[in-house]
Amino acid sequence: MSVLIFTELDNGSIRKSSLEAVFYGAKVAQMLGTTATALAIGPAEAAELQIAGNYGATKVLHAADERLAQTNNMAYASVLAAAAQQEGAKVVVIAKSALGDAVAARAAGKLKAGLVSNVVDLPEGDAATLHVKRSIYTGKAFAVTEMTSDVKIITVKKNAVSPETTDATATVEAFTPALNDGDFVAKVTGVEKADGEVPLTEADIIVSGGRGMKGPENWGILEDLAHALHAATGCSKPVSDLDWRPHHEHIGQTGIKVSPNLYVACGISGAIQHLAGVNGSKVIVVINKDPEAPFFKAADYGIVGDVFDVLPRLTKAVQAAG
Amino acid sequence: MKILVCVTSVPDTTAKISFTDGDTKLNKAGVQYITGPYDDYALSRAVELKEQHGGTLTVLNVGEADSEPVIRKCLAIGADDAIRVNAEPTDAYFVAEQIAAIAKQENYDLILMGRESIDFNGGQVHGIVGEMLGLPSFSPVMKLDVDGNVARFAREIEGGKETLEASLPLVLGCQEPIAEWKIPNMRGIMTARTKPLKVVEPAGQDSLTKVQKYELPPAKGACKMIPADQAETLIQLLRTEAKVL
C-alpha cells in the first residue's frame, strides 16, 4: 500500500501546485504508516523529478512514452490507474486544475474510487475510512465528507497545506504501462497559451480588476503593480464579458476559483458571485472609490480611493521597499 | 443528431447558504432553485446545434420531484423531452451511474452538461460518465461545432485554450462562452407543459462518498481601512502584519 500523487509537468518541471499535492500526499502517507509515490507523465529530466523528494515522496514513477508528451486526460487517467494498481495505492492525491480534475474523474470511473474535489485540509481517519473537508457552494461553505471506497481519490485546492521541504531526494523509476489506442482519438489542432504567466490557480498573489478600471487601455497600472508583486492578473465577470480581458482571467462563481495568499481587488464592487470565487484567499485587499462597495465587508484591508491614484502609489511603495 | 443534456437544479448564485438539522442539511427556506449556470450554457448550445443539424434533444436530471420546475424551463428553452431519475443526487459516481444507464439504451451522439454543478462543484460527472460508457470526455469546453460526424471544439487549459477535433459520440462538460443563455418565450413555456417528462427509478446504489456535516466559513474580522493618501502604509502592513509579502 502507498499513497500515489499525480503530478502535472510544465516544460519538464513539476508544477508548484503538484509539489503542494506531493507534500499533502506525504502527510497522508505518514498518517497511514506508508510511503508516498509520485507519478509524472510526459518528457522530463530525472533531476527535475527528484525534487518531489524534497516534498516527501520516496519514489517517482516516470511515464515518458512519446505519445504522452501531449497532455491527454484519458491517457493520463489510464496511466494513473495502472500506477495505482502496481503500487497498491489506496489513496490518490491530485492538485486541482483543469487537467487534474479531468484525470481524477476518469481515474475514479476506472478504479470505482470515491472522489472528493476541492479539499482544503488534511484528512482524518484511517485507510478504511477517511474524512476530508472540501469547499462547496463555490466557497460559501464546507462539507466534511466520508470516503469508504477501497481506493480514494482526493483533489486538493491551493493552500490546503503549507509545504515544508527537506533535502531528501526521490528515486526515479521508468513506468511503461501498455497504452490504449482508444485514449488517443482526439486530435489537438491548436494551443493558445500565454507564455511565462503564472496560472491564476497557482499564483500566491493576484491583482484583479473590475469595471472601475474603466477600460482595457487602463490595465497598464494594474499590470505594473502585479509585476512589482510578482503576481498574476485576474478580472471580474463584466470585464471578461466586455472583452476587456481574456476569459481565462475571469475569477468568480462561473469562472476560476482562486485561493491565493493575497488577493488585491481594484475597482471591483464585490458581487456575491465574484466573492464566491475569491473567498478562499488568505488576505483580501479592496481598493474602490465607493465606500459602500460590498467587497469591503469581505476584505481584510481596504482603501477608499481612485484606482488611478492608488495603484501607482502602491507600485512605487513596493519597488521602494525592494 | 441525438443530443442529451444533463442538468442540475441548484440554489441560485445569490442564495445565502445556511444549514439545519445539526448542520447535516441545507436550509432550503427562502432559497430559489435555478438550472445550473454551466448546464444552461450546455443546453443553449445544444438548442443551437439542433436548429442547425436537426435531430432530438433530451434533458436529463437526477433529482427529486422538486427539480421539475427547472426541467420544465429546459423544455421551454427548446428540449423535446425530459427524463428525471427519481433520486437525491448524493454523489458524483451515483449520478454518473444513472446517466450512463440511460445513455447505454439510447446511443446519443453528444452528451453535454455543465463543467460542474454549482452546489458541490465537483466537476466529476462528465469524466466518470465517459469512462462508464467508454467514450472520450472533455472539459471545460468553451466552443463547440459539429460537422457531420466530427466535433471541433475548444477547451480551457491552465492560462489559455486548446482546440481539438474528435469523432462523435462524445461527453463534454461545458462553460461560457459556448453559447448565450436562452430565455424561454411564451410559446416555449406553453408547449413545455405538454412535452413528455418521464420519471424513472434509479439504477444501482453506488454512492462512494457521504457528507457527514456542513460548516460555514468563520466570520471575517473587520476590514482595516487605510486612507488613500497613505496608500503606502498598506504595503508595510502586508509585510509586517499580514505577512503575505
- Show me where the domains of chain B are located: 2-219
Provide the pairing of β-strand A187-193 with B160-167.
antiparallel
> Would you say residue A220 lies in a domain?
yes
In the listed set A153, A184, A215, which residue is the last one of a domain according to the structure? A184
Tell me if B207 sits within 8 A of A131, measured CB to CB: no
CATH number at residue A58: 3.40.50.620
| Pair (A6, A134) in one structural domain | yes
Q: Do B160 and A191 touch (CB under 8 A)?
A: yes
Q: In whole angstroms, give the CA distance from residue A189 to residue A82.
A: 28
Q: Do A143 and B215 touch (CB under 8 A)?
A: yes
> Would you say residue A191 lies in a domain?
no
Is the torsion defined by CA of B195, B201, B204, B208 positive or negative? positive
Tell me if A143 sits within 8 A of B211, measured CB to CB: yes
> Would you say residue A14 lies in a domain?
yes
Q: Do B234 and A133 touch (CB under 8 A)?
A: no
| Pair (A149, A16) in one structural domain | yes
> Would you say residue A190 lies in a domain?
no
Q: Is A322 exposed, middle or buried (0-12, 13-18, 19+ CB in 10 A)?
A: exposed
Q: Do B208 and A112 touch (CB under 8 A)?
A: yes
The shortest C-alpha distance from B18 to chain A (Å) reads 8
| Pair (A106, A250) in one structural domain | no
Residue type, A4: L
| pLDDT score of A163 | 92
| pLDDT score of A279 | 86
| pLDDT score of A200 | 87
Residue A138's nearest CA partner among A295, A283, A272, A270 is: A272
> Would you say residue A158 lies in a domain?
yes
User: Look-up: residue for cell 447558504?
Assistant: B17
| Pair (A55, A143) in one structural domain | yes
Tell me if A231 sits within 8 A of A205, measured CB to CB: yes
Nearest C-alpha in A relative to B242: A283
| Pair (A234, A315) in one structural domain | yes
> Would you say residue A189 lies in a domain?
no
Nearest C-alpha in A relative to B126: A105
In the listed set A157, A184, A211, which residue is the last one of a domain according to the structure? A184
| Pair (A163, A310) in one structural domain | no
Q: What is B2-219's CATH superfamily?
A: HUPs (3.40.50.620)
Across chain A, which has 322 residues, the per-10-residue mean pLDDT values are 94 94 97 97 95 97 96 96 97 94 96 96 94 93 96 94 92 96 93 77 93 96 95 95 91 88 96 90 96 95 96 95 72
In the listed set A134, A155, A184, which residue is the last one of a domain according to the structure? A184
| Model pTM score | 0.91
| Pair (A139, A13) in one structural domain | yes
Q: In whole angstroms, give the CA distance from residue A215 to residue A157.
A: 32
* B156, B212, B239 ranked by CB distance to A145: nearest: B212
Domain that holds residue A206: 200-321
The shortest C-alpha distance from A57 to chain B (Å) reads 25
Element (H, E) at A239: helix A237-241
Q: In whole angstroms, give the CA distance from residue B54 to residue B3.
A: 10
> Would you say residue A6 lies in a domain?
yes
| Pair (A215, A315) in one structural domain | yes
Residue B81, phi then psi, degrees to nearest 5: -150, 175
| Pair (A155, A205) in one structural domain | no
Written as tens digits, the pLDDT of chain B (245 aa) is 999 999 999 999 888 899 999 999 999 999 999 999 999 999 999 999 999 999 999 999 999 999 999 999 999 999 999 999 999 999 999 999 999 999 999 999 999 999 999 999 999 999 999 999 999 999 999 999 999 999 999 998 877 889 999 999 999 999 988 998 999 999 999 999 999 999 999 987 778 999 999 999 888 788 999 999 999 999 999 999 999 98
What is the total count of domains within chain A? 2
Nearest C-alpha in A relative to B41: A254
Residue A122, phi then psi, degrees to nearest 5: -65, 150
Residue B195, phi then psi, degrees to nearest 5: -70, 150
Query: Could you report the predicted ipTM of this complex, rounded to two decimals?
Result: 0.92
| Pair (A138, A209) in one structural domain | no
> Would you say residue A11 lies in a domain?
yes
Contacts of A238 in chain B (CB under 8 A): none
CATH number at residue A297: 3.40.50.1220
| pLDDT score of A196 | 64
| Pair (A161, A132) in one structural domain | yes
Nearest C-alpha in A relative to B220: A298
| Pair (A96, A207) in one structural domain | no
Contacts of A189 in chain B (CB under 8 A): 152, 163-165
The shortest C-alpha distance from B189 to chain A (Å) reads 26
Q: In whole angstroms, give the CA distance from residue B172 to residue B77.
A: 20
